[in-house]
A and B are shown apart, each in its own frame.
Chain A
Amino acid sequence: TQLLEQSPQFLSIQEGENLTVYCNSSSVFSSLQWYRQEPGEGPVLLVTVVTGGEVKKLKRLTFQFGDARKDSSLHITAAQTGDTGLYLCAGYSGGYQKVTFGTGTKLQVIP
């Protein structure tokens, strides 16, 4: 069974601080996605990374795919209260036949 472990599980920070969320596995993935989920709603896709070592930026969010395509990180610069939510990573493998979601990181940004 493939596992995607996310760390930390919970994170509570002050507005303006920086943070990094990690998504790790012992398995290789064809691609990896990051989602944000707000209470009472479904996840919303933020980004997809495909190439080992790839870095993508989405305003204050920076996503990196590990060189070996086994891990990924999400870095948020100058967090805002609107960044509050559950962040999920999801890895595709087996020629995109299988998707595995991470355990999730619950982020709270305090004003």
Chain B
Amino acid sequence: NAGVTQTPKFQVLKTGQSMTLQCAQDMNHEYMSWYRQDPGMGLRLIHYSVGAGITDQGEVPNGYNVSRSTTEDFPLRLLSAAPSQTSVYFCASSYTRTDTQYFGPGTRLTVL
């Protein structure tokens, strides 16, 4: 099993550009989520999904869109990147919301 994979590992964008951060898991987990990690602020939940076709907002959803068309994939879209979105982004998955979450290796995003 590859676990949770994320691509790309690093990305630099200019303000206003759009991009999609990819996340995939091969553990047949229903619950998937996206977090951003900023210095001194821990991880903050952006969006989550309890199964294919079902998504909901987390703590900091503005500027991000998600969709879940399959159990395996949960992409995060930045529609118009802003410098405030410079961060490290982590995708996580688990069988249910309360089970052990497995995190991907992260994507380091810089918006100039």
Q: Which residues of A contact B (CB under 8 A)?
A: 4, 9, 31, 40-45, 48, 88, 90, 92, 96-97, 99-104
Point out the residues of chain A lying under 8 angstroms from B35, CB to CB: 101
Q: Check if A42 sits within 8 Å of B42, measured CB to CB.
A: no
Given contacts A42-B102, A42-B106, 10 further A-B contacts (CB under 8 A): A9-B40, A31-B98, A40-B106, A41-B105, A44-B103, A88-B43, A96-B98, A99-B45, A103-B41, A104-B40
Within the complex, the shortest CB–CB distance from B82 to chain A, in Å, comes to: 22
Point out the residues of chain A lying under 8 angstroms from B106, CB to CB: 40-42
Within the complex, the shortest CB–CB distance from B50 to chain A, in Å, comes to: 11
Complexed CA–CA distance, A40 and B105 (Å): 7
Point out the residues of chain A lying under 8 angstroms from B42, CB to CB: 4, 88, 90, 100-104
Q: Check if A92 sits within 8 Å of B98, measured CB to CB.
A: yes
Between A and B, 11 residue pairs with Cβ closer than 8 Å are A41-B103, A42-B92, A42-B106, A48-B100, A88-B43, A90-B42, A96-B98, A99-B45, A101-B35, A101-B44, A103-B40
B90 within 8 A of A: yes
Complexed CA–CA distance, A44 and B98 (Å): 15
